[in-house]
C-alpha cells in the first residue's frame, strides 16, 4: 500500500532559487541605479543646477 501524499510534500527539497522567480541582490540593484543616475547626469537630462 502506498503512503498518502500530503499537500506540499512534493515541494520539499526544492531550491527556492530554482522556482523561476527572478531576484536581484541589493548590491546589484544599487549598482544599476547608480549607473542609471550617472548616465542621466552625463546626458544632460538632469540640469546642472540640480547636481550639488
CA dihedral 20, 21, 24, 25 (to 10 degrees): -100
Assess whether pLDDT exceeds 70 at residue 6.
no
- Within 10 angstroms of residue 41's Cβ, the number of other Cβ atoms is 14
Per-residue pLDDT, averaged over 16-26, amounts to 74
pLDDT for res 28: 93
3-state secondary structure of 22: coil
**pTM higher than the cut 0.85:** no
pLDDT for res 5: 64
Q: pLDDT > 70: what percent of the chain?
A: 62
Cα torsion angle, 10, 16, 19, 21, sign = positive
Separation between Cα atoms, residue 45 and residue 8, nearest integer Å = 51
Per-residue pLDDT, averaged over 6-27, amounts to 68
Q: Specify the residue for cell string 515541494.
A: 11
Amino acid at each position: 500500500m502506498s503512503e498518502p501524499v500530503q499537500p506540499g510534500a512534493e515541494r520539499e527539497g526544492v531550491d527556492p532559487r530554482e522556482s523561476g522567480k527572478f531576484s536581484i541582490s541589493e548590491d546589484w540593484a544599487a549598482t544599476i541605479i547608480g549607473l542609471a543616475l550617472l548616465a542621466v547626469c552625463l546626458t544632460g537630462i538632469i540640469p546642472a543646477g540640480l547636481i550639488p
